[in-house]
Amino acid sequence: MNNKKLIKVILDNVKTIFGALMIALIIRSLIFQPFYIPSSSMEPTLLIGDRIFVSKYTYGYSKHSFPFSPNFFDKRVNYKIPKQGDLIVFKTPADNRTDYIKRLIGLPGDKIQFINGEIFINNKKIERKKINTTNSVRCGKSVIEINSFEETLPNGVKHISVYNKAGTLQNTKVFEVPADHFFLLGDNRDCSKDSRYLKSVGYVKSVNLVGKAQLIFFSNDTVESRLLKFWNLNKSFRVDRLFKKIK
């Protein structure tokens, strides 16, 4: 192969690779982006080791829709207000870089408070009923016994949340959600760093929203797989969670 043909082959391959990267970047920034769940704060809804797809278009776009959050603009384009009960990936206000996923509980202007272990939104207790699902969940490196509830938010959206049997958060001050901000909680109520922790997370501004969690496309128990021999790794795969719609 002479030099001209070699250069042409190299350029063609570079163009193909560049084109593929651009397509992947567009899909990741504007349509869907995969995320990995590293913590137990959303158990039992999301487990450590879940891989999920997040829709980037649901709430419109901001600088956080793109890799490295380039400082193009400070507002959302084609903004659509999230709904209570949505599972949202967002950049933490503390550093604007770390991705968290929590459930939207409070909208701008709402007043949120825990009283005797139950959630009140605008002085009205959210409806909940005890259910029998799982008896325990992970909390960091520990396993805790829990009570499970089906909670119904003011807009009618239902979700499962769990509370530590050994002792749960009973009472808090009133959290008043500022304009253009949101209040989010983990479903694993006593094992979640979320909007209750004002210094580390707090209220989340609309520009920090990344997207809505839609689908689990793969899942394996990364904690258990570290304990298994490589020939037994199939035991860590959660087949029942493949392509499971997130609620």
Distance CA 167, CA 171 (A): 12
Element (H, E) at 206: none
Residue 41 annotated to the active site? yes
Give the closest residue to 112 by CA, choosing from 175, 190, 157. 175
Q: Which two tokens stand for residue 2?
A: 């002479």
Residue in 39, 41, 65, 161 annotated catalytic: 41
Contact 120, 243 (CB under 8 A): no
Which of the following is catalytic: 56, 63, 91, 102? Answer: 102
Please give the structure tokens belonging to residue 57: 């278009």
Q: How far apart (Å, rounded) are the C-alpha atoms in residues 74 and 14?
A: 34
How do 32-36 and 204-205 pair as beta strands? unpaired
**Measured CA distances, 24 to 19, 66, 102 (Å):** 9, 12, 26
How far is Cα 94 from Cα 91, in angstroms, rounded to an integer?
A: 9
Any idea which residues carry the catalytic annotation?
Answer: 41, 102
